[in-house]
Structure 1
Amino acid sequence: MEKRRGLFQRFLDLVEKVGNKLPDPFILFIGLSLLMIVVSYIFSLFNASVVHPGTGEELEIQNLLSGEGLQFILTSMLDNFTGFAPLGLVLVMMLGIGLAEKVGLMDYAIRKTILSSPPSLVTYTVVFVGILGNLASDAAVVLIPPLAAMVFYKVGRHPLAGLAAGFAGAGAGFTANIFIAGTDALLAGISTEAAAIVDESMVVTPVDNWYFNIVSVFVMTIIGGLITTKFVEPRLGKYKGEAVEDEENEELQNGGKGFRNSIIAGLSYIALIVIVISLPNSPLRGEDGSIVPSPFLDGIIPIVLFFFIIVAVTFGITVGRIKTGKDVSDYMAESMKDMSSYIVLVFAIAQFIAYFNWSNLGTWVAVNGADYLKDINFTGIWLIIGYIIFTALMNFLITSGSAKWAIEAPVFIPMFMQLGYHPAFTQVAYRVADSSTNIITPLFPYMVIILAFIKKYDKKASIGTYISLMLPYSIAFLTTWVILILVFYYSGLPFGPGIYPFL
């Protein structure tokens, strides 16, 4: 047993060593853009071409080092950046979600939900809140685990079990939510850009994985709770360490009225939307009265934005954090500051994808890759499962979900479209793989923070303690999600409004 753990530990050390040698994501995509330029030149020397599957047109690989290529690089740079689909989607979403976070609504809602949970349901509540916490983006990973540890300690249970449950929900369950989150907008935008390599009319919307995500929330809540109570907690035993004082947020303890008012305001807004949709000849319905497609789905991002603004402003005014209109704009500006690193990264990602598309290398890889998979008879659902495993392993080298998807999407979405798969289905496969192994990769940026929380309760804890705590959740989440995809796949259930595995 010790020998196995030693071998695994050496494997983790190797992964950490290799991963640490990877450049910053911005530099990585600059390097990939330069690589595209060189590869396009090499392919052009051999007069490589590919037949476009949609139009039947023969496309030559275009040389980015040619005069025409250099003109494209210079004249398209700004358009590549400002026209990059995920940029506007994510920034608009974060105006609302960021406002809710800055006024303290997210923090209060998380604390209120966990601390008010009945002891018999506290484990499942912790996982549930952790999963929904991705609305607050990475803030949930920092806030929920230590709070869950304290709650477990207060009810006489091992605090590390609570910390693990909270981190599993916030980290491994990151992709799921009942609500439309910033992650949905971000990934959908990248997916749309990638799908355009094959079909420029193909659009992946932020709601295309919504049904699957909603089901995932409840399934993963149950799985996370069972892993905590059946595996993690019995292994930890009874806690014999010293007590750790809770770090209460005193200012928000008086936010009950604000929370209540924000719920009322949010429900009133939802009721108004439902009424408008239900009206005869509703402007939010399609021409034939349908919901899929419809202006409602096309405008889901602004609708969600207004929801978060309404509940955030209501909460902020009630608790005294918003006194004037300037306070609202100041909080929104603060949330945009938090997105500065993302904006910088998008500039590099946008150039890489644009070069990939313009050179026709994306189409070449997609068509030839699909043909190869057909030749070896590696298609069907086992191909998707293989892709999930591949992405889960890639998480040990590149932990940024958006960066990894920006690399994978231009290759796998067009390739799988050639095999008949809908881009939103490929996106689902990516999301479950990326999310599941977040919590066990040593390169996860919040690993050090979680390890510090663990050390509060176990002074001798190390990375081995961390991995042993989180590995059962990672395996269980990934396995369950694969099974859930199979259930949707074979039962014909839609992954989102009008979205099925095949085109």
Structure 2
Amino acid sequence: MEHGSTTPMDPPNTWVTRALDKVEKIGNKLPDPAIIFFFCLIIIWGLSAIFSNFTFSSIDPRTGEAVVVNNLLTGDSLADFLSRMVTIFTGFAPLGVVLVAMLGVGVAEHSGFISAGLKRMLDVTPQKVLTPMIILIAIVSHTATDAGYVLVIPLAGVIFHAMGRHPLAGIAAAFAGVSGGFCANFIPSAIDPLLQSFTQSAAQIIDPDIQINPLNNWFFNSASTLLIVSIGWYITDKIIEPRLKHVELDGDEFKASGTDSDGTEQAKQAANQFKELSDKESRALRFATLTMVAGIVALIAVLYPETSPMRAPDGQLTSFAAPVMQSIVPLIFLLFLLPGVVYGFMSGTFKTSKDMIDTMTKAMQGMSYYIVMAFFCALFIDAFGKSNLGALLAIEGAQVLKALALPSMVTIVGIIFLTAFVNLFVGSSSAKWALLGPIFVPMLMQLNISPDLTQAAYRLGDSSSNIITPLMPYFPLVVVYCQRYVKSTGIGTLLSMMLPYSVTILLLWTVFLLAYWALGIPLGIQASYVYPAG
């Protein structure tokens, strides 16, 4: 098979292309992401001082009291901010997730284990199905919480590059699957019982005896997987990659591969060279792969008994209370570290233990820019939460929607679009549902719409705009991944790549839900469309 044989044609000069070019041009004129987060922090401080002088009648469902905006510019607030600055940064959840996972992945990458595995994979992966396979893997990665951001997205760039395709197209496709299709998955994950718990609490405001199944959206989420893969496949191959055809690769990752940007022939040659493994490397790959498989088998053996210490007290594996769900990142660290070490020593990449430590150092050097951005991002997110401005935005928006008293289907569409909008400012899925659920669920129950359908609409809106908000904690990380190949990548570049995915997913997924509803296909286990259930 000749890799790179399906290089996209030149992009047509359509209004879509011109619009995306304009988005990229304007977006790249924005300051560095770290500076944007700093400016946002200053703005939040100012807005908190202004709005703290107003009294709001909206009730915060978390406290049962009226929403109060906290002034962050008082002496006490600023003193508290300074005293907590270090712990705000070190306690920033995405930072620990990324760095710990990258320590293990870094060993596997720099030892040559990952590239060797990819070489083998390229021999058996048809070029035509590469894009949908990447998106499908990205969607499935939700099961392992944030693993997709630190593992699948960068690997997608490597795989596309090795196949003679533009690496940024691979990163965009994986990002669309991991984040844009966040609530599409045929494998249950920890997010299911987490959201269900908020939905049930909200529903019990109206019906104290109601019980919601944690898998009440499973059938819809599974069917949505096919939709997201199809959308991502078309947009990647027909819109995004043609736009990237003339974007030259000049990043460190590209230079390390020894290719140049004169044309596709060099990419093809690089891909062919990428396939070749020596006998020594092949043997090292076999033993390293066996090591990874042995680790997975050992993990399954530990998880299988009903009395396993890795299960929750009630015996569940997917509950947030289960130690295994809280250990996903350390498990990723180990499952890449161990085979990476085996491959490194057997292939000759590692001579001493210091060589192994050096690979971890290289991995952290590559994350230095993200660490700087994470510092300012953590300060902004903490201030936004402390100010209560996010809660005010969500609750006021929900109250406006409620006051409109629209027909059921229009209301569901309104919930989807309001959630997508709020998601641009409040990233956490569970935090938004804690605010919106107690308003949406009882309101729609009074319109005879079930909590199951309301939750499905929320999850759809929550997913679709993840990939176009720079305020999402992992957005700057994806910019860093792109800069490995194209140094000039900025916020505008990533926004212009992801905007077609976001808009198309939002619109088509909404239509899909309405059609799914109209056909009466079950949403999930013990789920219904109407309340009370017939």
When the two structures are superposed, what TM-score results if normalisation uses the length of structure 1?
Answer: 0.66
**Alpha carbons of structure 1 residues 256 and 213: separation in structure 2 relative to 1, 3 Å:** farther
Residue in 1 that maps onto 2:287: 261
Residue in 1 that maps onto 2:352: 324
The question of 1:144 aligning with 2:159 is answered yes
Residue in 1 that maps onto 2:64: 56
**Alpha carbons of structure 1 residues 56 and 113: separation in structure 2 relative to 1, 3 Å:** same
Distance in 2 separating the partners of 1:407 and 1:176 = 13
The question of 1:348 aligning with 2:376 is answered yes
Instruction: Determine which structure has greater relative contact order: mean sequence separation of CA pairs < 8 Å that are 6+ residues apart, divided by chain length.
Output: 2
**Alpha carbons of structure 1 residues 251 and 317: separation in structure 2 relative to 1, 3 Å:** farther
The question of 1:312 aligning with 2:312 is answered no
Distance in 2 separating the partners of 1:346 and 1:297 = 24
Residue in 2 that maps onto 1:246: 269
**Alpha carbons of structure 1 residues 142 and 52: separation in structure 2 relative to 1, 3 Å:** closer
Distance in 1 separating the partners of 2:19 and 2:239 = 24
Partner residue of 2:133 out of 128, 137, 155? 128
**CA apart distance, 1:414:** 5.1
Residue ranges of structure 1 left out of the alignment (5+ in a row): 151-161, 179-184, 200-208, 234-240, 395-403, 453-466, 495-503
The correspondence of residues 95-494 of structure 1 with structure 2, limited to 5 A, is 95-117=103-125, 121-125=126-130, 127-129=132-134, 132=137, 136=151, 139-140=154-155, 142-149=157-164, 169-170=173-174, 172-175=176-179, 243-244=265-266, 246-247=269-270, 249=273, 253-254=277-278, 255-293=281-319, 294-377=322-405, 381-383=412-414, 385-386=416-417, 412-413=432-433, 415-418=435-438, 419-420=440-441, 429-434=461-466, 491-493=522-524
Please tell me whether the aligned partners of residues 132 and 176 of structure 1 are also in contact (alpha carbons under 8 angstroms). Answer: no
Residue in 1 that maps onto 2:246: none
**CA apart distance, 1:243:** 4.7
Partner residue of 2:52 out of 44, 47, 50? 44
Distance in 1 separating the partners of 2:70 and 2:114 = 49
**Alpha carbons of structure 1 residues 57 and 221: separation in structure 2 relative to 1, 3 Å:** closer
**CA apart distance, 1:304:** 2.4
Residue in 1 that maps onto 2:529: none
Distance in 2 separating the partners of 1:358 and 1:449 = 35
When the two structures are superposed, what TM-score results if normalisation uses the length of structure 2?
Answer: 0.62
Residue ranges of structure 2 left out of the alignment (5+ in a row): 1-11, 139-147, 183-188, 203-216, 242-262, 442-450, 471-477, 488-495, 526-534
Distance in 2 separating the partners of 1:177 and 1:111 = 28
**CA apart distance, 1:8:** 4.3
Distance in 2 separating the partners of 1:108 and 1:311 = 12
% identical aligned pairs: 30
| 1:422-476 residue CA offsets vs partner (Å, 9 max, x unmatched) | 99986764445445999xxxx9888899999xxxxxxxxxxxxxx9x99998887
| 1:202-237 residue CA offsets vs partner (Å, 9 max, x unmatched) | xxxxxxx9999998777766676788999999xxxx
Distance in 1 separating the partners of 2:91 and 2:239 = 48
Aligned-partner residue type, residue 253 of structure 1? L
How many pairs were matched up? 425
Deviates most, 368-377 or 242-251:
242-251
**Alpha carbons of structure 1 residues 27 and 304: separation in structure 2 relative to 1, 3 Å:** same
Distance in 1 separating the partners of 2:341 and 2:223 = 30
Distance in 2 separating the partners of 1:291 and 1:28 = 40
Please tell me whether the aligned partners of residues 349 and 406 of structure 1 are also in contact (alpha carbons under 8 angstroms). Answer: no
Distance in 2 separating the partners of 1:231 and 1:325 = 46
Q: Secondary structure at the match of 1:491?
A: coil
Q: CA RMSD in A?
A: 5.2
Aligned-partner residue type, residue 15 of structure 1? V
**CA apart distance, 1:86:** 1.8
**Alpha carbons of structure 1 residues 227 and 131: separation in structure 2 relative to 1, 3 Å:** same
Aligned-partner residue type, residue 31 of structure 1? F
Aligned-partner residue type, residue 290 of structure 1? Q
Distance in 2 separating the partners of 1:425 and 1:305 = 35
Please tell me whether the aligned partners of residues 180 and 465 of structure 2 are also in contact (alpha carbons under 8 angstroms). Answer: no
Please tell me whether the aligned partners of residues 48 and 70 of structure 2 are also in contact (alpha carbons under 8 angstroms). Answer: yes
The question of 1:80 aligning with 2:88 is answered yes
Aligned-partner residue type, residue 343 of structure 1? I
Please tell me whether the aligned partners of residues 127 and 165 of structure 1 are also in contact (alpha carbons under 8 angstroms). Answer: no
Partner residue of 1:92 out of 95, 100, 119? 100
Distance in 1 separating the partners of 2:503 and 2:175 = 13
Distance in 2 separating the partners of 1:99 and 1:84 = 24
